[in-house]
C-alpha cells in the first residue's frame, strides 16, 4: 500500500474503517497498534515498525488528551493530541492514524476488526486485555518492538527533576549568594544586582559560572 501524506493519514474512525474495508477487498491484511505516544521515542518507533511487519496496512489509534490524563494523571500528556497524532503519522511505517477517547481500544477494534492487534513488549500474548475480543472474529494478538527499555514517564520525570534542581540551585545568586528576585523574563540578585535572563522558566548562567 502506498503511504499517504501525513495530513491524509490522520482521519476519523469512520473514514479509517472505510479505507480499511477497501484495502481488505483488495486482499490486504490489517494490523492495529495503539498508545499515547507522548514524547515519541525510539521504543515507540520500533514498536510501530514491528507492527507494520505483521500486516499490509498499519492503523495506529492514539489516545486523546482526556484519556491520557485519566490513565496517567493530570500532568500528562506533555504533547497535545493533534501533535502526537501528526508525529505518528509522519513515520513511514504507519498508514492511518486516528484518535480515540475511551479508556481502552475495544471500540476501535470492534469497528475495524483487524487481522492482528499488536501490543508492545510490556505485554505478553496472554496479558493483552483485548485478546478475547480479537479472537471473536478470527483475529490474533501479537507482541512487537524491543524490550521495554524506553519510557516517556521516565524521560518526563528526569527532565522535570533536572529543571527543578536547576531552579533550586538558583534560589540564591551563584556569585554573591544573595537572594534572587524573580521578575518577568529575568531573575535579579537583590544584593549585587546581577541579572540572569530566564527562558522557559530556567535562568541562564554565564559560561563558566557554577550552579
**21-54: per-residue pLDDT in tens?**
999 999 999 999 999 999 899 999 999 999 999 9
Q: Do 144 and 124 share a domain, yes or no?
A: yes
Contact 108, 100 (CB under 8 A): yes
Q: How far apart are CA 139 and CA 117, in angstroms?
A: 8
- Domain end marker among 135, 150, 165: 150
Q: Which CA distances in Å does 11 have to 32, 95, 160, 211?
A: 14, 11, 33, 48
How would you classify residue 180: left for phi > 0, otherwise alpha for psi between -120 and 50, otherwise beta? beta
Mean pLDDT score, 176-192:
83
- pTM for the complete prediction? 0.74
**207 three-class SS:** coil
Give domain status of residue 170, yes or no. yes
pLDDT in tens, 47-92: 999 999 999 999 999 999 999 999 988 889 999 999 999 999 999 9
Q: What is the pLDDT of residue 124?
A: 94
Give domain status of residue 81, yes or no. yes
Q: Do 138 and 161 share a domain, yes or no?
A: no
Q: Do 135 and 197 share a domain, yes or no?
A: no
Mean pLDDT score, 190-195:
87
Domain that holds residue 43: 6-150
Amino acid at each position: 500500500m502506498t503511504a499517504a501524506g501525513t495530513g491524509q493519514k490522520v482521519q476519523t474512525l469512520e473514514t479509517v474503517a472505510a479505507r480499511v474495508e477497501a484495502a481488505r477487498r483488495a486482499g490486504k491484511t490489517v494490523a492495529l497498534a495503539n498508545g499515547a505516544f507522548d514524547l515519541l521515542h525510539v521504543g515507540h518507533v520500533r514498536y510501530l515498525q514491528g507492527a507494520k511487519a505483521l500486516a499490509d496496512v498499519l492503523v495506529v489509534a492514539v489516545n486523546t488528551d482526556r484519556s491520557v490524563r485519566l490513565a496517567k494523571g493530570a500532568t500528562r500528556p506533555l504533547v497535545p493530541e493533534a501533535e502526537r497524532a501528526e508525529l505518528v503519522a509522519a513515520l513511514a511505517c504507519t498508514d492511518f492514524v486516528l484518535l480515540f477517547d475511551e479508556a481502552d481500544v475495544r471500540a476501535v477494534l470492534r469497528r475495524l476488526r483487524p487481522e492482528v492487534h499488536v501490543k508492545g513488549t510490556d505485554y505478553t500474548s496472554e496479558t493483552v486485555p483485548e485478546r478475547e475480543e480479537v479472537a471473536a472474529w478470527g483475529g490474533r494478538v501479537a507482541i512487537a518492538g524491543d524490550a521495554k527499555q524506553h519510557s516517556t514517564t521516565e524521560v518526563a520525570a528526569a527532565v522535570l527533576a533536572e529543571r527543578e534542581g536547576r531552579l533550586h540551585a538558583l534560589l540564591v545568586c551563584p556569585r554573591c549568594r544573595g537572594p534572587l528576585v524573580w521578575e518577568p523574563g529575568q531573575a535579579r540578585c537583590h544584593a549585587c544586582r546581577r541579572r540572569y535572563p530566564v527562558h522557559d522558566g530556567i535562568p541562564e548562567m554565564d559560561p563558566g559560572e557554577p550552579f
